């Protein structure tokens, strides 16, 4: 077992930690004290602190999940697909990748991605439909298309659908009325991004074959320490490090792995931190780094805190090093993020700006407007931009230069790709590090619409420091959504356009690049952006 430790280098957090100990912050979180984040946050916090004891309250799920898993295996059903977004998909993805078991995570509306998931071993497939509200448009669309595919193949769709949702949600009612294979009702007093150890994290992971009992054991082993009002509480030290830059301009954290054995942890932590802290013009920008050699970790700017998960060969001159098993890390970072919220003076449990992009996308779908004409087209790339960005610009490289020219000394660049993250488009993610070297500023990379349930909140609610590069692409083949007046291609296009519209409404500079030929366009972009 790897011990749970948080070690800071070149970061003076001692005084802040002592203050947190004096206020008994850790024990008050463990006791579900909703007053900790101020009167404005109290109502929300009072129904969002169930995550603190999930290592105990989730235990009854284990036998239920194992019984269902045995049933499915006995019927030859060994492929699990997860339809979920944000908190419903990121934790299961980390859990199963770390465990080395197969889980198909479907958290996209890209028609190519959805079609590929449908075409793979449908006869052996069970889909877990996960949504707290039960009304998430992406998840509902995925459920519809899988149900129709099962029926078309002569398979009773209800027998292949497992639902995970909150009590009383539309999905809970639908599952009961439709006779779904199983319905797991999650703790409603846990927000989506804190739900790793609820049914949302455990059901798909357990059905896929991960050892979920071990996760709860790891969290349980750390819980007492994380709840202690002592200066060596790792959650207080990590929370102070994350938020400690409020007075000195350090408001970004680059999360990288150094041989921890945990796969994809930064993507989970990115959502937790961005959506919890990015609001009211403040927040901590998380950068999901690939390795400790990436520029933002190896040579961080003054406003960036490197956070290394695992034990690096050489400790950083400045930063924080975190070790521990996955279950303990989930609980640690949740505590630390709640602590950071208190230090930043915000409510870490709401997400006031997430709905804006969803609303804009719904409006575009309802209106079915003609696409906005591009400012110009350069080869296979249609170029559009927010007001004033492209004045006098006539080339793709000039458009990129114009966007990067808006990057402030304390700014960041967000690349937002509404494409297929696991297919032929995946290589676009390789532009992140070259862009960091080019700009000498932090660069985030998000796959849409997945990031809308993660860093999308920070983009709109956090500090007005970002410039935004959106990439969309014409699908080779579109895919209908049963009993809906729009296709997956139309849905993802509306989500991208809605997101860009809301960013522009917030006076954020946005460059929109649409690839009329994805393969050629990605090759072009990789050349231009480097």
Could you tell me the domains of the chain?
5-33+223-344 (3.40.50.10490), 53-215 (3.40.50.10490), 354-529 (3.40.50.10490)
How distant, in Å, are the alpha carbons of 23, 179, 245 from that of 38? 13, 44, 21
User: Mean pLDDT, to the nearest integer, of 223-229?
Assistant: 98
What's the mean per-residue pLDDT of the chain?
96
pLDDT value for 477: 96
pLDDT value for 364: 83
Q: Is 36 helix (H, G, I), strand (E, B) or coil?
A: helix
Regarding predicted confidence, which is higher, 29 or 366?
29
User: Mean pLDDT, to the nearest integer, of 63-78?
Assistant: 98
Task: Decide if 117 contacts 168 (C-beta within 8 A).
Answer: no
Candidate from 141-150, 204-213, 347-356 with smallest mean pLDDT: 347-356
pLDDT value for 319: 96
| Segment 259-300, tens digit of pLDDT | 999 999 999 999 999 999 999 999 999 999 989 999 999 999
| pLDDT higher than 70, residue 369 | no
The model's pTM is 0.97
| pLDDT higher than 90, residue 370 | no
| pLDDT higher than 70, residue 247 | no
Could you tell me which residues are beta bridge partners of residue 310?
258, 259
pLDDT value for 244: 80
- CA–CA separation, 215 vs 437, rounded Å? 38
pLDDT value for 134: 85
pLDDT value for 248: 67
Residue 246: pLDDT band by 50, 70, 90 thresholds?
A: low
pLDDT value for 368: 67
| Segment 285-342, tens digit of pLDDT | 999 998 999 999 999 999 999 999 999 999 999 999 999 999 999 999 999 999 999 9
Q: Is the peptide bond before 487 cis (omega within 30 degrees of 0)?
A: no
pLDDT value for 355: 78
Dihedral (CA of 425, 431, 432, 435) sign: negative
Task: Decide if 280 contacts 453 (C-beta within 8 A).
Answer: no
User: Mean pLDDT, to the nearest integer, of 371-388?
Assistant: 96
- CA–CA separation, 435 vs 303, rounded Å? 18
% of the chain surpassing 90 pLDDT: 92
pLDDT value for 135: 85
CA angle 243–247–250, rounded 5-degree value: 55
User: Mean pLDDT, to the nearest integer, of 46-74?
Assistant: 98
User: Mean pLDDT, to the nearest integer, of 365-377?
Assistant: 85
| Segment 73-97, tens digit of pLDDT | 999 999 999 999 999 999 999 999 9
Q: What are phi and psi of 130, to 5 degrees?
A: -115, 120
pLDDT value for 1: 75
Candidate from 32-36, 61-65, 452-456 with smallest mean pLDDT: 452-456
Phi-psi region of 385 (alpha: psi -120 to 50; beta: other; left: phi over 0): beta
Q: What are phi and psi of 43, to 5 degrees?
A: -60, -45
pLDDT value for 454: 86
- CA–CA separation, 85 vs 280, rounded Å? 24
- Segments in 100-169 forming alpha helices (H): 111-118, 137-152
pLDDT value for 530: 86
Regarding predicted confidence, which is higher, 262 or 249?
262
């Amino acid at each position: 077992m790897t011990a749970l430790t948080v070690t800071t280098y070149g970061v003076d957090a001692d005084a802040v930690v002592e203050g947190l100990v004096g206020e008994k912050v850790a024990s008050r979180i463990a006791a579900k004290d909703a007053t900790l984040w101020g009167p404005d946050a109290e109502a929300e916090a009072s129904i969002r602190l169930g995550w603190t004891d999930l290592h105990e309250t989730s235990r009854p799920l284990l036998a239920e999940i194992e019984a269902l898993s045995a049933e499915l295996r006995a019927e030859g059903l060994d492929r699990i697909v997860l339809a979920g977004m944000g908190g419903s998909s990121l934790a299961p993805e980390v859990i199963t990748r770390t465990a080395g078991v197969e889980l198909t995570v479907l958290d996209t509306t890209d028609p190519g991605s959805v079609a590929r998931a449908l075409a793979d071993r449908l006869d052996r497939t069970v889909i877990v439909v996960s949504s707290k509200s039960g009304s998430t448009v992406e998840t509902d669309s995925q459920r519809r298309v899988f149900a129709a595919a099962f029926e078309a193949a002569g398979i009773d769709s209800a027998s292949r659908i497992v639902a995970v949702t909150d009590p009383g949600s539309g999905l809970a009612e639908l599952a009961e009325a439709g006779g779904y294979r199983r319905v797991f009702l999650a703790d409603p007093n846990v927000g989506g991004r804190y739900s790793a150890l609820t049914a949302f994290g455990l059901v798909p992971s357990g059905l896929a074959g991960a050892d979920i009992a071990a996760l709860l054991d790891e969290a349980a082993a750390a819980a007492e320490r994380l709840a202690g009002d002592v200066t060596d509480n790792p959650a207080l030290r990590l929370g102070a490090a994350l938020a400690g830059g409020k007075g000195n301009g350090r408001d970004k954290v680059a999360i990288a792995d150094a041989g921890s054995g945990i796969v994809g942890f930064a993507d989970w932590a990115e959502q937790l931190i961005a959506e919890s802290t990015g609001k009211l013009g403040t927040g901590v920008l998380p950068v999901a780094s690939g390795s400790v050699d990436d520029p933002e970790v190896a040579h961080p700017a003054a406003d960036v805190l490197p956070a290394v998960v695992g034990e690096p060969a050489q400790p950083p001159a400045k930063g924080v090093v975190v070790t521990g098993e996955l279950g303990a890390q989930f609980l640690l970072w949740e505590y630390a993020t709640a602590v950071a919220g208190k230090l930043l003076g915000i409510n870490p449990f709401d997400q006031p700006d997430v709905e804006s992009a969803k609303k804009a996308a719904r409006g575009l779908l309802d209106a079915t407007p003609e696409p906005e004409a591009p400012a110009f087209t350069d080869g296979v790339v249609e170029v559009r931009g927010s007001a004033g960005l492209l004045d006098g610009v006539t080339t793709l490289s000039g458009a990129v230069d114009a966007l990067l020219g808006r990057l402030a000394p304390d700014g960041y660049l967000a690349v937002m790709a509404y494409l297929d993250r696991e297919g032929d488009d995946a290589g676009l993610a390789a532009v992140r590090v070259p862009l960091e070297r080019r700009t000498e500023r932090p660069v985030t990379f998000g796959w849409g619409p997945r990031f809308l349930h993660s860093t999308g909140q920070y983009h709109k609610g956090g500090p007005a420091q970002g410039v935004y590069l959106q990439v969309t692409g014409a699908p080779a083949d579109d895919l209908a959504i049963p009993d809906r007046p729009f296709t997956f291609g139309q849905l993802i296009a509306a989500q991208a356009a809605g997101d860009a519209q809301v960013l522009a409404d917030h006076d954020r500079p946005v460059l929109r690049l649409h690839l009329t030929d994805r393969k050629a366009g990605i090759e072009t972009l990789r050349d231009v952006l480097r």
